[in-house]
A and B are shown apart, each in its own frame.
Chain A
Amino acid sequence: MVRFICVISSLFFSITAQAAKENSNHPKVIAVTQIISHPSLDKIRRGIVDSLRDSGFEEGKNLTIVFDNAQGSVATATQIAHKFRGISPDVAVGIATPSAQALASVFQGTSTPVVFAAVTDPKTAGLAPDHLEGKVLITGTTDFPPVDQQIALIRKMCPERRRIGVLYSVGEINAKKQVQSLKNLLKPGETLIEIPIQSSAEILFALRHHLPLVDVIHIPLDNMIVANLPSVVHVAHAHKVPVFTSHPEGVLEVGALGTVGIDQYQSGYETGKLVSQILQGVSVKKIPVLFLKKAETHINRKIAKNFGARLPENTGECP
């Protein structure tokens, strides 16, 4: 048995050593890691790849992309970061906060630039470039949704609905930040009712419990809720409560009433632009963290009619 394991492991080692060697022959290598498989994060990754291609870096031609998914395990995310450091790519990209943090920690003291995406609050996450100056070269994009515009849209479309229920998962720092910002924007007479959930199994239970207490549901950029959005919208509509989301797909694909948000693909595309700048030789120190601002507003006319909501002017619409 001992011998068996020795053989197996030495096999792995030799195979992987070869694989690493093959990689280093290509002119440009980028290493991308994300914390978990999720529609939003996958879109960001696609955006990065497409953006690189549009800037002249095509995978398989003059670019090798190493991609690893940590499958939700922080320990694996750290091991992936070490693997990347071993490959020493031209740029390492971390999608979502824990993956970006793992890269920032492991790449300390190297000259490999780290680029993060889908990090809502780089400062709290300890990823701000000035905070890490002299330790690691880092930049990235942050996609904090425009909460002021979101609440303005709710006021405009449903002025009589003043009890806003926010459904979010307590385990996600992005969501938590948005809830705090929303609270600060409330006007007198408006109340914000938090509907926090711990696991995806609780979503519908918590939602049904709170639906009689709220006039409208708002959903922040929250990976766990967004993954279960169709059933959330279905249940809320059955209780005559409209749903507002923070990303366009909510309206376009699932049938929420309205949204102001940054398209995740676009956020990945912008991140890809940063990466290609670095690949073209621009110094990372000259590339500040990009705060994505270009939010899209979408409303769903059919649902708006059902709820008797008012239609704001000049917005992207959905039949």
Chain B
Amino acid sequence: MTFFQFLGTCEIAFLYMFVGLGVFLTFRVLCFPDLTVDGTFTLGAALSAYVTLMHDAPFSSLAIAFIGGMVMGALTAFLHFRFKIVPLMAGIIVMTALYSLNMRVMGGPNVSILGHDSIFSFLERQGFSAFETKLGVLFLFLAGVFMLLYGFLKTMTGLALRAIGNNQEAARYQGVPVERLTLLGVGLSNGLVALGGALFLQTQGFADVNMGLGTVIMGLAALTIGEILMPQSVLFLGLFSAVAGTLLYRCFVAAALNIKFLGLSPSDLNLITAFLVILSFAYKHKVSRARGVSC
């Protein structure tokens, strides 16, 4: 792997770390297996493209993407509570709807802002190189979001969210408004993923309607790698492992692009990903038996 490829890998990893954090929030903190993210990742990119192209406002496009993702995530949770649809199914429904919706927002299956002003343009005009600007800004964004999320999960509301994930019934008996907080939690998760999608558009300059394909499974694989690497004893490490796992997962992808002579090809990547996710569930199974918790 060349140095540049490694930096490129970091760039993609930074983008998908938002997905990692989002998936961590639903699958680990809330125990709400949410598949909406496959749609909201693209939604974030689509909304960001729309606002950037139509209103020349790349920065506000990030906020709008975040809100859009949040609404769709909350919708999934709403479907679950209102109509008793299992979370997986509710996620698939919203994801399916989002495919068409994204196409509406983008005005077609593919949209490009290449050559337009992005969130990086004003720094590039100051003479910074395009590549370093992207890496730096993305890192700052990520660090900010990471700390905000960590801070939020430490508040009373955040604590209640984590309680829901640990034992929903017990949380309910303690007076935690389970429905409302799950709506918030799943919304927040999808908002983060949409923000990742929006930043993807800003860095890569294009969005495609099929770009969200497999987002959730990639996020899960990243979580697994992180969990195998480090203990989940405290919240900070849990969040950090989601982020570190994403970087390692992207390194795996980069390695898979380079190791053709071992008989592996990039088309085997999905197999490896699936294997990692199975490993994740096996690991969880083992841990939960040891600790006596169910999720």
Contacts and interface: CB of A to CB of B under 8 A. Distances in A.
Contacts of B109: 170-173, 176
A101 B210 CA distance: 14
Contacts of B213: 72-73
A9 B255 contact: yes
Given A12-B251, A75-B16, A83-B1, 11 more contacts: A69-B267, A71-B266, A73-B213, A75-B253, A79-B257, A85-B8, A86-B5, A105-B204, A124-B108, A126-B112, A126-B114
A70 B266 contact: yes
A127 B258 contact: no
A173 B1 contact: no
Interface in B76-116: 99-100, 103, 108-110, 112-116
A260 to B, nearest CB: 24
Interface residues of A, number: 53
A2 B218 CA distance: 20
Contacts of A85: 4-5, 8
Nearest to B8: A82
B143 interface: no
B4 A82 contact: yes
A17 interface: yes
Contact of A83 (B205, B208, B254): B254
A78 B214 contact: no
A149 interface: no
Top 5 nearest A-B pairs by Cβ distance?
A82-B8, A126-B112, A86-B2, A126-B114, A86-B4
B131 A132 contact: no
Interface in A1-28: 1-2, 5, 9, 12-13, 15-17, 19-20
B114 A109 contact: no
Given A75-B211, A198-B99, A101 B12 contact: no
Interface in A88-105: 88, 97-98, 101-102, 104-105
A105 B114 contact: yes
A255 to B, nearest CB: 29
Contact of A75 (B12, B110, B252, B261): B12
Interface string A111-142: 00000000000001111000110010000000
Contacts of A176: 108-109
B7 interface: yes
7 contacts: A16-B1, A16-B258, A76-B257, A79-B250, A83-B2, A125-B206, A126-B205
A74 interface: yes
A87 interface: yes
A49 interface: no
B148 interface: no
B270 A71 contact: yes
A172 B108 CA distance: 8
A68 B259 CA distance: 11
Contact of B259 (A16, A37, A72, A126): A16
B228 A1 contact: yes
A81 interface: yes
A105 B201 CA distance: 10
A82 B1 contact: no
Contact of A17 (B2, B112, B225): B2
A282 B258 CA distance: 31
A173 B110 CA distance: 6
A108 interface: yes
A81 B12 CA distance: 11
A79 B7 CA distance: 10
Contacts of B16: 75
B209 interface: yes
A80 interface: yes
Contacts of A37: 267
Contacts of A125: 110, 112, 114, 206
Residue from the set B1, B129, B213, B250 with the largest chain A CB neighbour count within 10 Å: B1
Interface in B212-264: 213-214, 218, 225, 228-230, 248, 250-255, 257-259, 261
